[in-house]
Structure 1
Amino acid sequence: MKYFIRKVSVLMMITFLMLTTYSMTNNSVQAAENIEVEAESAIIVDAKTGKILYEKQSDLKLPPASMTKMMTEYLVLEAISEGQFSWDTTTQISDYAYWLSSNNSFSGIGLIQDKDYTVRQLYEGMAIISDNATTVALAELVAGSEGEFVKMMNEKAEELGLQEYKFVNSTGLSNSDLGEYHPEGTEANADNLLSARTSALLAYHLVNDYPEVLDFSSMTTSELDGRELENWNWMLPWEDNNFTQYGYDGVDGLKTGHTEAAGYCFTGTAQQGDRRVITVVMKTESMEKRFVETKKLMEYGFTQFEATELFPAGYQLEGESILPVSKGKEKEVEIATAEPMETMIKNGEEEQYTISYQIDEDKLDEDGSLIAPIESGEKIGEAILQYSGEVDNGYIEGEGSEQSVDLVTKSAVEKSNWFMLSLGAIGDFFSSIFTTVVDFFKGLFS
């Protein structure tokens, strides 16, 4: 009897521990899935695939403040890559840029007129301390005037597929603050506007098209005219200062922003291993809060999602991986994926993914057959990744940007010679006549 009671007690304890463990695990997952971000809008994007891992009112257009400078950074890097000028090219400070630089309300760093500054010096001032005067100096170097540069900003936005945007100057200040210096062709009281989704898309293009931007955005300090430039990004790996509490492993960019209208904003990016995420928070309540909320987003992106190979190279869909071939020595050919299909998967959602075939219609005849000759490994379409889970935030580049891999033939099919093609045509002809005759007599006796 004592043995029985002892055994029941042990079983009850084990059951209790299992239920407690399950409850704690479940609550932990639930808490992680239902993150509450104290920002008016926010988003997380996987920088490799463009998959949106989380979003909150990400289409809401708001003043982005100095996050506007990401477009200026893009256009400067593009001009350098196209050979318009180099990092060592020098330029001087215009009256407009000097006015900005000497105005404390614009956080001016006090540039000197009649002095040559290199593009690198000006770029560091823009990227590290978010200086407005160095930004305008670069815009004027690229386009001749800030008004012309604003046209370039809006044209590039359209080219990159940005949706919710409006660029009226290169810096992110309100035009009303610029007075007589507001860019020609823009309204005197206009503001730049971006959504969190658009900011993330701009950052996505920036870090993928010009990864050298991270060499600048990851610098904690620099120097210009004997003055220290200190990065506004407190999430970088600072040493021996008050910012270390906001740090997060792998952060190397990207752009802070703040005005009265915009609140405190931040487009951040971090890399851990071979994974990189991009995050945006807009209109948080304080300088510190934008980093606290960004840390939540980054933690969620790195811990709740994992890069997973869902389908290996050579994968074939059952019942759909053989295509008929016309005019070939073989009547059919096998098709398969050319590369592995890999994406960011939320923990526990592997079974929610399938693939579908999309065959290139230009490769098919009117009967739906591939036309010989066919090479081994020839691309004949794409395998498109499909998701059937509850929350699908899509991809940062919008519709038509789903993940896919090439669909290729597994073997070659030679074109049949003219004699065999002729025999086939004759056979088809008599087969057609026979079918017509049979149908005729069936009609007589039906």
Structure 2
Amino acid sequence: MFFATLILTIATVFSGFTMKAEAADDQLGIEAEAAILVDAESGKVLYEKNSDVVLGVASMSKMMTEYMVLEAIKKGKLQWDQKVKINEYVHKLSAAPELSNVGLTQGEDYTVKELYQAMAIHSGNAATVALAEVLSGTEKNHVEKMNKKAAELGLKDVKFVNSTGLNNKDLLGKHPAGNPDEENVMTARSLAKLAYRLLKDYPEVLETASMPSLKFRDGREYKNFNWMLPELIFPYDGVDGLKTGSTDFAGYGFTATAMRNGQRYISVVMKADSKDSRFAETRKILDYAFNNFTKEELVKKNYQLKSKKTIPVTKGKEDKVKIHSKDSITMAVKNGEKDQYVPVLVLDKKKLNENGELTAPIKKGEQVGYMTVKSKKGDNISFLTEDGQKEIQVPVVAAESVEKANWFVLMMRGIGGFFGDLFGGIADSVKGLF
């Protein structure tokens, strides 16, 4: 009995240390299962907690259908004023108790725009299914396309089993994929990446996401579930999107975006305890972003690295050429840490000979490599996308032209080089005799 008590006591002590260590790792003390903060312009990750843990995503998964609708509109495959006739299943789903919906009448025509607004503003589940059917023929086909699009966008650890984010058991016995009680799952990182691509590819998404309410044709006004919009319950300066979600399995989640003074951020909170807490935790994250980060110019336009202002040139009228950055490099940097980043020059090896020389002729403005930045501490600069590093890369170009030398000059150089090598060899041989 004594030993059992002792073991239990030791286990409890070590368990306490583990919990404290995990809490210490979360510098913001976010009370949610997972969270992430990114710079919306570059995709640079500024804060994360359990960002690669797979969790229920609920209605935040509707952002994928938003993306697909906007993509189809852009490609001309869908029109905003296109009519969609409501079938029996969609009508019944729109009347299902305890589900977020706008009422849709069977046999009546609604425009794509009406259904999209119902989905994006009031998280209308039946409206989402109607859009899935018009986009892909059936919701089952649409779910397949959602998973395919996720792969195209580079989203990892994602599984869609329906278009709405509901639990399959709530779909009136017509779940399109997965098990009867399965739900959509994603990670905070993948949600942030989806929001990042949505804002990059279709910034017009905010025109609808920022609407505080929807006046629908049934005469009712439906409030936006994003209560952090300036006109609603928990107003936050700069918030203009994007999507909330909640189920028993997923808890309460919120993918938000906000912009102030030209700087936009994206935050994700997953599996918070309540409707209110998801907004309170999002406020913590956005406060941290706006109070602690600034967009800084780390490399100026036409910048020359002190150790590499020129590159040697062969077969040119000059034996070297000046180089500089074509553009400036800016990045969201924590306040006071601008000096912790240094420029790095990467030359294009394909343009250099074995002696590290460029071959004339060289035109002013010709790219010879690129410049980026790195942390003096050696810390990894993390981005959402695999090619995110390109967001902080700018071309390095020739600052002047170098013409090719004429044949006579090249011949004389060759002769000079020959005799120089010859006399050098003789001199070495003579030295070797003494």
TM-score, with length taken from structure 2: 0.89
Q: Give the secondary-structure state (helix, strand or coil) at the position aligned to 1:181.
A: coil
Which stretch of structure 1 is more off in the superposition, 255-264 or 417-426? 417-426
Partner of 1:3: none
CA distance in 2, matches of 1:313, 1:388: 21
Aligned to 1:337: 325
Partner of 1:27: none
1:235 aligns with 2:228: yes
- The equivalent of 1:128 in structure 2 is 121
Find the counterpart in structure 2 of residue 219 from structure 1.
Answer: 211
After TM superposition, the structure 1 = structure 2 runs for residues 96-175 of structure 1, keeping only pairs within 5 Å, are 96-175=89-168
Give the paired residue count. 408
Q: Which residue of 2 aligns with 1:201?
A: 193
For residues 323-360 of structure 1, the C-alpha deviation after alignment (integer angstroms, 9 at most, x for no partner) is 11122111111111111221111111122100111111
1:358 maps to 2:346:
yes
Cα contact 1:54–1:393 (8 A) shared by 2:
no
What do the CA deviations read for 1:161-201 (whole angstroms, capped 9, x no partner)?
Answer: 222312222111123433642225x4444321111111111
SS at match of 1:376: coil
Q: Which residue of 2 aligns with 1:421?
A: 410
Question: Is the alpha carbon distance of 1:216 and 1:423 closer, same or farther for their aligned partners in structure 2, counting shifts above 3 Å?
Answer: same
How far did residue 392 of structure 1 move?
A: 4.8
The answer as to whether partners of 1:55 and 1:393 remain within 8 angstroms in 2 is: no
* Aligned counterparts of 1:125 and 1:111: Cα–Cα separation in 2: 10
1:435: how far off?
Answer: 4.8
Alignment map for 1:175-186 (pairs within 5 Å): 175-178=168-171, 180-183=173-176, 186=178
How far, CA to CA, are the matches of 1:393 and 1:228 in structure 2? 45
Secondary structure of the 2:171 match is helix
Deviates more, 1:421-430 or 1:307-316: 421-430
1:44 corresponds to: 37
User: Which position in structure 2 is the counterpart of 1:63?
Assistant: 56
Aligned to 2:237: 249
Match of 1:264 among 252, 271, 278: 252
The answer to whether the 8 A contact 2:101-2:123 is kept is: no
Change (3 A) 1:307 1:400: closer
- The secondary structure found in structure 1 opposite 2:389 is coil
> CA deviation digits over 1:384-426, x for unaligned, max 9?
1111348656112146525111111111111222332333334
CA distance in 1, matches of 2:339, 2:205: 38
Distance in 2 between the 1:203 and 1:173 partners?
Answer: 19
Tell me which moved more, 337-346 or 126-135: 337-346
Q: Is 1:372 the equivalent of 2:360?
A: yes
How much has 1:106 moved relative to structure 2? Answer: 2.5
Give the letter aligned to residue 344 of structure 2.
S
| Distance in 1 of aligned mates of 2:318 and 2:85 | 71
Change (3 A) 1:433 1:192: farther
Q: In structure 2, what is the equivalent of residue 76 of structure 1?
A: 69
Q: Is the 8 A contact 2:42 2:388 kept in 1?
A: no
The offset of 1:85, in angstroms, is 1.6
RMSD after superposition: 2.1
* Structure 1 residue 445 displacement after superposition: 3.8
> In the alignment, which residue of structure 2 is the partner of 1:7?
none
CA distance, structure 2, for counterparts of residue 359 and residue 392 of structure 1: 21
Whether the 8 Å CA contact 1:268–1:294 is kept in 2: the answer is yes
Inter-partner Cα distance in structure 2 for 1:206 and 1:133: 22
5+ residue gaps in structure 1?
1-30
Q: How far is 1:89 from its partner?
A: 1.0
Q: Once the two structures are superposed, what CA deviation does each residue of 1:78-137 show, in whole Å capped at 9, x if it has no partner?
A: 000011121111111233322321211323322112111111100000000001111111
Give the deviation of 1:381 after TM superposition: 1.1
Secondary structure of the corresponding residue to residue 166 of structure 1: coil
Moved more, 396-405 or 49-58: 396-405
Match of 1:13 in 2: none
Q: Which residue of 1 aligns with 2:6?
A: none
CA contact (8 A) 2:69 2:78 kept: no
Q: What residue number does 1:8 align with?
A: none
Alignment of 1:391-410 (within 5 A): 392=380, 394-398=382-386, 401=389, 403-410=392-399
AA in 1 matched with 2:192:
A
Alignment of 1:302-341 (within 5 A): 302-341=290-329
Distance 1:216 1:173 in 2: 22
Shift in CA distance, 89/364, structure 1 to aligned 2, threshold 3 Å: same
CA distance in 2: counterparts of 1:131 and 1:426, whole angstroms = 82
**Cα distance, 1:432 vs structure 2:** 4.3
Residues in 2 aligned to 1:265 and 1:85: alpha-carbon distance in whole angstroms:
30
Q: Which moved more, 1:256-265 or 1:199-208?
A: 199-208
Determine which of 267, 286, 309 is the counterpart of 1:298: 286
Gaps of 5+ in 2: 1-23
When normalised by structure 1's length, the TM-score is: 0.86
Contact residue 239 and residue 257 of structure 2 kept, 8 A: yes
Distance in 2, Cα, partners of 1:234 & 1:81: 29
Label 1:115 to 1:440 Cα distance change in 2 as closer, same or farther (>3 A). farther
- 2:304 corresponds to 1:287: no
Look up the match of 1:411. Answer: 400
For residue 186 of structure 2, what is the amino acid of its counterpart?
A: L
